[in-house]
Chain A
Amino acid sequence: MKFILFIIISAFIILAPKIGLPICNIDTAKQAIPPRIFAEIAIDDNDQNVIFTRAIHNKTGIFLSEFSRCYFDVFDFNYLYKQLTILGLTGLLFASYRAIVLKRYNLILLILFLPLIPFFKQPEIIVMLVLKTLAISGVLAFMFLK
């Protein structure tokens, strides 16, 4: 019975419609720097200390902000929910939790580095396949491991 249930849940996860990530990669991150830095500096007072301005509004900071936006897009719960269904999302969270608790560093690194694939303009399908695999593994672990 458990096995049949697992097959059904896995089928739902596999057959869930493919959802694209928002366009966000190294190019968009670089493109965002000039307008953002101009807008931010334009707001500051003329008499503001230059070093302070440079410390708060700089290319590195804006690039990191754009990078984190792209990075977080992959871990957006709405995206994951649509991509994996609610059971798949639960499975993914459980798989991540088990990976951390059991010190499976290779798996933790795989999850952490996953968002770099679309950021460096590699095929998004890799992200989707890895997420679905992890979600099914999580469901498997949840159902069969004690």
Chain B
Amino acid sequence: MKSSLSKLPRAEARGIFFLARFGYHPIGQWPKGFLARNKYIWLLLILALAFALRFYQLGQNPPHLNWDEASNSYNANSILKTGKDEYGRFMPVLFKSFGDYNLALSVYPIVPSIAIFGLNQFAVRLPSALFGVVFVLFTYLLTLKLLKNRFTALMAAFLIAISPWHLQFSRYDHEANFMQTFILVGLTAYFYLRKKITGLILLVLFFGLALNSYHGAKVWVPVLLLFMTIFDRKNILKFKFKLILPALILFAFCLPIIANFQNSLIRGQSVGITSQKQPISTFVSGYLDHYSLNFLFNAGDTIGRHAVTGMGELYVFELPLILLGIIAVVARKEKLPKFLLGWLLLAAIPAALATPTPHALRAITFLPVWDIFATIGIYAIKTAKLARWTKATVFLVIGVIGLYNFITYLHLYYSHYPRQRAVDWQDGHRQVFAYIKEHESEYNSIAISNYYGHPYIFALFYLGYDPALYRPQKDGQNGFGKYEFFGSSWSQTVPGKALIVTPFWQAHPPKVLKQIYTADRDLRYIISETQ
């Protein structure tokens, strides 16, 4: 392939940095040697690594189910057994949950997993982990299509496989992970079938699924669709009247949201910036927060469920690579890689429209763009006109730092995280209900403080309470069966022995049966009984 250096302006051609030269370097050739003969083995190895990192101790770490996971899974269990959610609605398209009206695909993907593995922590997280592995595969496919280079595609898949940001959200049940996977699959399908209407149909099909999985998609999908339409307008507009079909498909996927418009706005209203005093200034500040180097490479998200403490959302070794990658793409003349730049600039919008910022979960829209830029940076160094030993030294230094970063991450995630962040995962409920399950029959009533929020959902989940029994007797989540949930104080309504669960500092009957400690060795609950 002929080098197109001659296309450069004269001044740049004279003093060009090797990265700008990368922009005009003929890529698309598969490197010769072992890698060339075994390209699919490398991909399989990366997928195996992604699988291992997402499934190892999946049911144990994060240390506990958070209430959203418990709610989604109990609703999935209820759908499985009765066809209705916890509120008795038949196959709903919005799940009321705690009043935030989660979208349909936050619950339905869990149903098959619970049907196979039962109602337990592993089963709840399994779909998310599987989506995580699929995400790695499609990162490979999209990068291959956009950059036409298998080495870069493999590296992108590898980096996303070990990405702390992506691992965090693939290892617990959250619909944001489903949304971003649908988006990625849709984009990949579109770029592979760009010249046919099928590509556009698949794009809107998967974007429609994304719309019905996570609240943030209501912003992210329109933003991305608008960008796609502008970016590829010549190609899209040539379909003319055939565009009606994808438009109808998209409209069909919007129907659940339109039909429940008031309810589907509730979550957005509670976290959106419209309630702020200066929404525009808050938006700009929030937008820029997501490009903060401290957030990305040093401190990460401060919310315990979103990141491990002690490192950023990305590895430090990726920082120079990402900078090189961005510069290389800016310098390129080709159109498709520019799509990544647009993605990078737009990805912060959904997260910036809500507070607090920076927010790793809402900014999951950035994945896998940062990692693709890092791999372009790697390729820029690989193809730079530098002495072999210089390149080898650069790669050695990056490799050593990368390995150190990765080992540190694994240590922080598997050793520190379950203890440091146990409270963020509402640790303690499992131990409480394990005790209660053993002694339930000895008491006439069981009263549990709702100080830590929504204990009823943990009771339903950990006791495996039959949804068909629960629904007819539920009353504002204040109790069911012999279970009662109370606020600051409890007064006995049913005569006989009662088991009381209170936070350790709250007044309780003198006869203490068990103290519940969290994984970080803090006393959380006292279980006591009335005389």
Contact = CB atoms under 8 A, between A and B. Distances in A.
Interface of A: 40, 43-45, 48, 52, 56, 65, 68-69, 72-73, 75-78, 81, 86, 97, 100-103, 146
A56 B330 contact: no
B285 A102 contact: no
Interface in B6-29: 9, 11-12, 15-17, 19-20
B289 interface: yes
Nearest to A76: B292
A77 B327 contact: no
B481 to A, nearest CB: 39
Contacts of B167: none
B420 A76 contact: no
A126 to B, nearest CB: 20
B294 A72 contact: yes
Given A72-B297, A78-B285, A78-B289, A43 B419 contact: yes
Nearest to A78: B288
Contacts of B66: none
Interface in B291-338: 291-294, 297-299, 310, 316, 327, 330-331
B285 A40 contact: no
A77 B299 CA distance: 16
A81 B291 CA distance: 12
B298 A40 contact: no
Contacts of A44: 415-416
B284 interface: yes
Nearest to A44: B415
Contacts of A101: 12, 16-17, 19-20, 327, 331
B298 A102 contact: no
A56 B15 contact: no
Contacts of A146: 9
28 contacts: A48-B415, A56-B407, A56-B408, A65-B298, A68-B297, A68-B316, A69-B294, A72-B293, A72-B294, A75-B293, A76-B293, A76-B294, A77-B288, A77-B292, A78-B289, A78-B292, A81-B284, A81-B285, A97-B327, A100-B17, A100-B327, A101-B16, A101-B17, A101-B19, A101-B327, A102-B11, A102-B15, A102-B17
A43 B292 contact: no
A37 B400 CA distance: 23
Max count, chain B CB within 10 A of own CB: residue among A68, A75, A100, A101: A101
B324 to A, nearest CB: 9
Contacts, number: 66
Contacts of B411: 52, 56
Interface string B266-305: 0000000000000000001100110111100111000000
Contacts of B316: 68
Contacts of A77: 288-289, 291-292
- Which 6 residue pairs spanning A and B have beta carbons closest together? A72-B293, A77-B288, A72-B294, A78-B288, A101-B20, A102-B15
Contacts of A48: 415
A146 B10 CA distance: 11
A2 B274 CA distance: 37
A43 B415 contact: yes
Secondary structure call for the B interface: helix
Interface string B240-270: 0000000000000000000000000000000
A18 to B, nearest CB: 18
A52 B407 CA distance: 10
A100 B291 CA distance: 20
A47 to B, nearest CB: 12
Contacts of A43: 415-416, 419-420
A140 to B, nearest CB: 16
A66 to B, nearest CB: 9
A48 B416 CA distance: 12
Contacts of A103: 15-17
Contacts of B420: 43
B408 A100 contact: no
A52 B292 CA distance: 31
B12 A72 contact: no
Nearest to B14: A102
B413 to A, nearest CB: 12
A52 B404 CA distance: 12
Contacts of A102: 11-12, 15-17
B404 to A, nearest CB: 8
Given A56-B408, A100-B327, 15 more contacts: A48-B415, A56-B411, A68-B297, A69-B298, A72-B292, A73-B294, A77-B291, A81-B284, A100-B17, A101-B16, A101-B17, A102-B12, A102-B17, A103-B16, A103-B17
A81 B288 contact: yes
Contacts of A68: 297-298, 316
B132 to A, nearest CB: 25
- Of the candidates A40, A69, A78, A86, the one having the most CB atoms from chain B within 10 angstroms of its own CB is A78
A86 B419 CA distance: 42
A146 B316 CA distance: 36
Interface string B25-50: 00000000000000000000000000
A144 to B, nearest CB: 14
A97 B330 CA distance: 9
A61 B20 CA distance: 34
Interface string B215-243: 00000000000000000000000000000
Contacts of B327: 97, 100-101
Nearest to A74: B293
